[in-house]
Structure 1
């Protein structure tokens, strides 16, 4: 089965959306599905305000339609609500083809952090976008309940997996900074709430991996922290394995793939008790969730690293891809047009 996946988020971007799509696509052939991505690559685009590394396609409708016609998909999934997502949504609706969507980003929180726009307005826009889909995939039960309260319908779960071969304990792996090493991995942006971690008065090394629009500001304000920039692959996995605790500060993420990467590396998690962490690391044997982040870090440092690894080993991308595949709505293009 040929699957067309529409996404405004794609490489070289490094984020949870891109990672989830790449890993799921790699596992889908096990279920007889070949994913073909429709992205902004090769199209005229403009940088997203405050996120210059994210480019949004402009005047993309005709080009996207040609790409979809060439793919001749048996199913369509729209992963993002940007210009590419809108163009593919329009293509499906015009041809009376069913499609699925997924909810990755809590845009109301992101928008509220930057502009005085009521979250009800943003939710209304998102509800309209996803309302035309046969199903909308969400990463957690908490997110499903939250969206249902805002009037979303036809919600189904699509959890996330973790690469336990890449992210694994590495005995003897040492990082050359004072311990304990408290690690944060992710995009450096205001909605990630990194000040809550970097402003703590705690002993050890605050190690930050990632890049983003807030990096220069954070480096100025927190000169004692170590900023390594973006890392991927083995270089990232080695950093995870050498850390003593993983600190997750976001209050707006729908999931938080990085927490699972930490667990797979045998590293316990400290986070706030908010959606995302309460779904991914609620087990008190692998994480501490507390509004007092310093307390959460201190407690997490006492947890069993082997237990963290054992939990992560139960969360494969194959299982996540199976959920995704079962939620798709296949169609026969000819019969849909004739309906």
Structure 2
């Protein structure tokens, strides 16, 4: 099968969209399919054995590290030449809209994957554009052959936009990378400077939409050491707000797995997550999770069994849940073990195989690529 993936983000940018596309391409190649990636540039012209076609882009205002794809004839030209069996639109907003128009013009089947709550994003940046963004996103997805959303909350959100043919498609987690065995006493000692402290950490982008400033509610908890893993436009401001926290910068691979497993409690603060991959990665690492009862975490955390959910917007509730775990190591152990068990079957190969055999198959018209050859 030929699959053209039109994505709003790809390497060298590292985020949830890039990560999902990367794992999708990995599995497509592994199972004998032929993918091509169309992404905003600049960047490498290939990933493994898959070509990456770069299009014109511009920096997003107030978020200059994130390039936005611009209308570019290379998108339609690439689809016309490649003639895919399916066009996979990864988090379509800007470049995805261009890909959708080209696919419809060429009569190519489409699967649109909803992954970013742009409305929540603009709200956190104080922009008065949420209704217009919702109309734009809804229009793109209403034109897709099938829309995949990662959580119950996202399905409901898209349903309110009038998007038809909705299906839930989650995310995998790299169980071969993340695990309790990665825990490092040496790293913990570095963070705590040898003190007997409970390490409470956040992992993710340091940006307004992630609401990392909520960690200030935990900063003065006795016996707690805050650790912040990641980077982004709010790094300097968070450093001033949380002067006693340890900031590691962005980590990946083995270093990231070691950081996760060396936490005693993982806290997520953002309330506009369509899925929340970091929750799964913390659970895979055997670390108890505290997250808001909003968006993706509602599906990932069974309150009291695989983690704890706090009332959205309530710093007091967040503080109470974390304080409870700080003083209850047995419950930390129990929640960590149950969280690990909950994600044991969510491997990336299994998740991408579902995408190929269930969702691609549902929109694909047999013989399309062969007829064009």
TM-score bracket relative to the smaller structure: over 0.9
1-structure distance, mates of 2:113, 2:300: 18
Tell me the residue number matched to 2:87. Answer: 76
TM-score relative to the length of structure 2: 0.84
1-structure distance, mates of 2:62, 2:302: 33
Give the length in aligned residue pairs. Answer: 336
Instruction: Select the residue among 317, 326, 330 that pairs with 2:364.
Output: 330
Asked if 1:107 is matched to 2:127, the reply is no
Structure 1 contact 269–288 (Cα < 8 Å) conserved: yes
Q: CA deviation at 1:26?
A: 1.8
Q: In structure 2, do the counterparts of structure 1 residues 306 and 335 end up closer, same or farther at CA, with 3 Å as the change threshold? A: closer
Tell me the residue number matched to 1:56. Answer: 68
Q: Deviations over 1:155-211 (max 9, x none)?
A: 111111100010011266221233211111111110101111134231311111111
TM-score relative to the length of structure 1: 0.92
Tell me the residue number matched to 2:104. Answer: 93
2-structure distance, mates of 1:233, 1:334: 37
Unaligned segments of structure 2, at least 5 residues: 42-53, 312-316
**Higher RCO structure, 1 or 2 (CA under 8 Å, sep 6+):** 1
Tell me the residue number matched to 1:25. Answer: 25
Q: CA deviation at 1:300?
A: 4.3
Q: CA deviation at 1:260?
A: 0.6
Asked if 1:202 is matched to 2:221, the reply is yes
Tell me the residue number matched to 1:296. Answer: 321
Instruction: Select the residue among 284, 292, 303 that pairs with 1:264.
Output: 284
2-structure distance, mates of 1:222, 1:65: 48
Asked if 1:16 is matched to 2:50, the reply is no
Tell me the residue number matched to 1:143. Answer: 154
2-structure distance, mates of 1:251, 1:166: 27
2-structure distance, mates of 1:307, 1:116: 40
Structure 2 contact 92–113 (Cα < 8 Å) conserved: no
Instruction: Select the residue among 257, 262, 268 that pairs with 1:237.
Output: 257
Structure 1 contact 270–300 (Cα < 8 Å) conserved: no
Unaligned segments of structure 1, at least 5 residues: none
Q: Deviations over 1:75-130 (max 9, x none)?
A: 11111334321221121111222211011111111112224425332211111111
Structure 1 contact 288–300 (Cα < 8 Å) conserved: no
Instruction: Select the residue among 280, 285, 297 that pairs with 1:277.
Output: 297
Q: In structure 2, do the counterparts of structure 1 residues 312 and 334 end up closer, same or farther at CA, with 3 Å as the change threshold? A: closer
Structure 1 contact 198–206 (Cα < 8 Å) conserved: no
Tell me the residue number matched to 2:203. Answer: 185
Q: In structure 2, do the counterparts of structure 1 residues 172 and 138 end up closer, same or farther at CA, with 3 Å as the change threshold? A: closer
Q: In structure 2, do the counterparts of structure 1 residues 7 and 309 end up closer, same or farther at CA, with 3 Å as the change threshold? A: same
Aligned-pair RMSD on alpha carbons?
2.1
Tell me the residue number matched to 1:218. Answer: 238
2-structure distance, mates of 1:172, 1:229: 18
Structure 1 contact 259–269 (Cα < 8 Å) conserved: yes
Q: Deviations over 1:59-86 (max 9, x none)?
A: 42x1222322343211111113343212
Tell me whether 38-47 or 175-184 shows the greater mean CA deviation.
Answer: 38-47
1-structure distance, mates of 2:138, 2:2: 27
Tell me whether 114-123 or 88-97 shows the greater mean CA deviation.
Answer: 114-123
